Structures are given as structure tokens and as C-alpha cells.
Amino acid sequence: MAFLSGLSAFPITPSDRDGRVDTKALRRLIRRLCAAKVDSIGLLGSTGTYIYLTREERRAALAEALDEAGGQTPVVVGVGALRTDEAVKLAQDAKALGAAAGLLAAVSYTPLTEDEVFEHFSTVAREGGLPIVIYDNPGTTHFHFTPALVSRLAKVPGIVAIKNPTDKSEAIESHLAGQRSIVPEGFSIGYSGDWNATEAMIAGADTWYSVLAGILPEVCMKIVRASQTGDAAEARRLGAALTPIWDLFKQFSSLRVVYVLAELLDICRAELPRPILPLSAVAKRQIVEALERLPAGIFR
């Protein structure tokens, strides 16, 4: 089995208007994920707004999450930063605290070349001492990992997995097969993009890196387990039942929607980091209506 497999749930990082992390609310979120028995927790990913937090805030959030998880659920933590030396320090912090792996994106202001990204990732893996998951997130970084670059990085000691974006569901199977052919055995291949993840898991992906699972893990676990046991029909049925949520993710972004879901479900109330603004009352009403359209009992 790959180092990372199954469902990796990505919670928000609750904070107040001034960006101070609400550790009690974060612990509540982590507790829910552990109770649902997710396979790993993706702390401080894009949904966890890592890029808006200082090194000290990230370290404090990770310490709280790891303490709440109690060593029972592996924690993968975002270590991305604009500068290589900062990313190395974040990886070292994560290793010292006990994280299972670091999630590293090609964050940049100046567009990066493939050689620059290769050196960045290789340095963080080597000097950070923490297993690294490649985070291919062109929607925010505007950098896409080519097959050639993935193949090079997969051979670097300490780089153990990749979190791919998804586009068209019908292209996932061929993408997965192509990527399997260029990475070493045991290298974990996973996908984000929740609305296409069911097809990715049915196709044989190792991991679903899920935004929705960070707030509603139970139904996402059902999809993953159905896929893993070969029950594609049940996985697709559950995935299709979530269409109202997927449509909202596409319309407003998954980040904005899950903040509203956390409040509506009385899990926690958190402020988006500025300059991101909260959704309007009209948009929030759409989310309420979407929840009402979901089949009864789907979240249990």
C-alpha cells in the first residue's frame, strides 16, 4: 500500500477577523475527523489558508492538531512558502512536531521554470527531513507539473506522493495510468477536485484529498470505502447525491462554501482571511437550500 492512501480530509483553519487561530474550534474540527476515522488529515492546505499564516501561527495550529489527533490519525501539513529557505524551516518545524508529511506547492510571485521548481522541492525534501507530497495546484500557483517534472521529482529521496488536480472526469483514468508509468512503485498518486474524486478513486487512485471531508467526513468516507471495495455503483450514487454541493463549490469556490457550512452546521464560526470576503446573504441562502435538497441521512 502507498504511504498515503484513502481519504485525506482538509479542514479550514478557524480564525478571527485579525487572523488569530481559534485553537478550540480547530481542535473540534480535528476531533470530528478522527471520530470519522479518516485515513489522514490535511492541515494547512489551501482550504486551511496556509499562505495567509505566519510561521508561528502555522506551528501553533499544527501543535494543537497533532495533540488532538493523539497519534491515531496521520497529519499531512502544508509547508509551502515563497522562499525555499522558509519552506525548509516550515518542513523542519513540522517534522519536529510529529507531522507525517509535508504538502508543498510551487508558490511563487515570479513565474518559475521547471528547473527552479525541481531545485526548490529537492532542497525542501533534503534539508527539511520530512516526507514531501507534491501539490500540483495550478489554479492558485499558475504552475502545472509536467509528466517529465513529476518523473524527475518522484525519484528524489523523500518525495513520496503527489496531489493532482482534476479536470474532466473522463480523462482521469488515462492520466492516472500515465502517471503510474513514470513514478516508482509505492509512490502515492492522489487527486483533489471533489466533484471528480469519485471517478478518480474508482479508477484506482491511492488518495482523495478532500475539501468536503474536512467538514463532512462521513459521506466522503463512504465514497472512498465503496470505491476501494469495488462497489463503483454505490460510490457514484453517493457522489451524485452531492451534486448540489459540487455545484456550489464550482460557483463560489470550495473554500468560501465550507466556511458557510461550518457555521450552518454549528461546528464553528470563522472569518475568512482578508482580502477574501464572506459570501452574500443570497449565496448563503443557496447553500442552505442545497443542504435541504440532499438525501436524508447522507451525512451519517
Alpha carbon 111 to its chain centroid, in Å, reads: 23
| Amino acid (one-letter) located at 56 | E
Output the CA torsion 262→268→272→273 (10° steps).
Answer: -140
3-state secondary structure of 191: strand
The answer to the question of whether 73 is labelled as a binding residue is no
Residues annotated catalytic, as ranges? 135, 163
Residue 3: all three cell numbers together: 504511504
Beta-strand (E) ranges in the chain? 6-9, 40-43, 75-78, 101-105, 132-135, 159-164, 188-191, 207-210
Is the distance from CB of 182 to CB of 170 less than 8 angstroms?
Answer: no
| Nearest Cα residue to 112 out of 134, 145, 135, 85 | 145
Binding residues for pyruvate: 47
Annotated binding-site residues read 47
